[in-house]
Structure 1
Amino acid sequence: MYDTMVSQRNQRSFFRLDLAPPLAARMSIVKVNNNKIETGEAHVLVDNISAGGLRFLSLLQLPVRQEIVLEFRMRLLNQQIKALGVIVRKEEGQNGLNQYGVSFTIDEELKSLLVRLIGELQIRLRRGSNITSCDFYAGDIMDYFLQHP
């Protein structure tokens, strides 16, 4: 099991920042099988992020399929971020709460911006700064999803 964990970590090429409390974000499905679609938005909580992807929590039941492209919108250090990605991993949790791993499909310019913002956010979090330039949710996770169905 340890070897598997090490090899998974080595596959990541970007620093991954754990977010506690998690970051409130909005997610929508924008493409299925290369066909653009319009869907409503779902509220999700991002509990870690890197320039290569993120992990989010949701009550939604989503499949792990490369053909489904998601769009995530969030605020990081007063920058509105819009990133596309695909679900690469799903873990079912208690009370219907699912955890999804997403790999971004973004250009180099956005990757560079995310590297800079995540690095700056890490520094501010280590200093214990009161960060109001991100939409962190400090309440109960299940309450969040009950308030944002």
Structure 2
Amino acid sequence: MAMALPPTEPITDTGLPGKKIPRNPTPLSAPQEQQVRDLYYKNVREKCADEIKDFAACAMGRTITMVFKCRPQKLAMNNCMLKYQGHEEMDKARAEWFRLAGERKRQREEEERRLQENRKLKREWWGDFEKRDGQ
């Protein structure tokens, strides 16, 4: 028996004009949610790449003094990351994950087709040897 999903509020900021995606269209498994979180963190890191590079350059070659010397860079990096963390960004990552789902499915099907083709070739190849040995 299929359970009905609770009503969800639409998201209008999908990057596509007039396209609305439900807030949480289907429940995802734990590995799928981890993939969404990975996309989410990747997107946040991309938006704050300059601040992260500045902090990394400051921290390079330092140990304990990094805490004191790189404090402004660390605060700038953290402020940037906090600015881009939230439900909106998570929803965008989830929408991106669903958009890429078709591509992942196509890749899996292509890989399965190649695997079946290789199995067929292997059977044909080894089948010839078995026929010769049996004669």
TM superposition score normalised by structure 2: 0.24
Rg larger in structure: 2
TM-score by length of 1: 0.22
| Larger proportion of helix | 2
